[in-house]
Amino acid sequence: MAEEASSAPAPAPAGAKMTIVAGVDDSDHSFYALQWALGHFFPPAQPQQYRLVVVTAKPSAASAVGLAGPGAADVLPFVEADLKRVALRVLDRARELCAAAQVADAEFEAIEGDARSVLCDAVERHLAEMLVVGSHGYGAIKRAVLGSVSDYCAHHAHCSVMIVKKPKTKH
């Protein structure tokens, strides 16, 4: 138990801003979570107490294509270019939201890998005190098949994890 406690990031030094890592992908749920974090931790016209690091995970082309057989190697450059385009679009949208919220101290990263490990690694690398992620609201079966990034991060990130759920619209 003591070993787990020692692997947690050290608190920010006195006078330094605490770091919040926000995980985003191309879903409305993740951008809702980012907007929620901006509204709650970065109020306009007030001194900013936090440093924000927005991270998106870009899957590798090989993992996206899988073992598709002959000709798969010919497709990899096109898949890689498309995955890179999606990651840049996600970060551009995050930049726009941060600019609209007048967040001055923000970094944006697109890291290749699985979202679960990319986010937990970002928490460690930036010594974050909080990780903010959205929840897709999958049911038990879909969550078991697809896996839940938020659930994984809640159990493995070495900081507090804020899972922000987008309210369901009423019909």
DSSP class per residue in 75-106: HHHHHHHHHHHHHHHHHHHHHHHHHHTT--SE
CA distance 122 to 116: 10
How confident is the model at residue 13, as a pLDDT?
Answer: 56
Strands 50-58 and 130-135: unpaired
Q: What is the 3-state secondary structure (H, E, C) of 32-63?
A: HHHHHHHHHHCCCCCCCCEEEEEEEEECCHHH
DSSP 8-state code for residue 29: H
Assigned token pair, 118: 């990319």
Q: How far is CA 20 from the centre of its chain?
A: 10
How confident is the model at residue 50, as a pLDDT?
Answer: 93
CA distance 135 to 33: 8
* Secondary element (H or E) of residue 103: none
Q: For residue 163, count other CB atoms closer than 10 A to its CB.
A: 16
How confident is the model at residue 65, as a pLDDT?
Answer: 59
Q: What are the residues facing 18 on neighbouring strands?
A: 50
Mean pLDDT by 10 residues, the chain (171 residues): 42 72 94 96 87 93 62 75 92 96 93 94 97 76 62 92 86 60
Assigned token pair, 43: 């109020």
- Asked whether the whole model's pTM tops 0.85, one would answer no
How confident is the model at residue 4, as a pLDDT?
Answer: 38
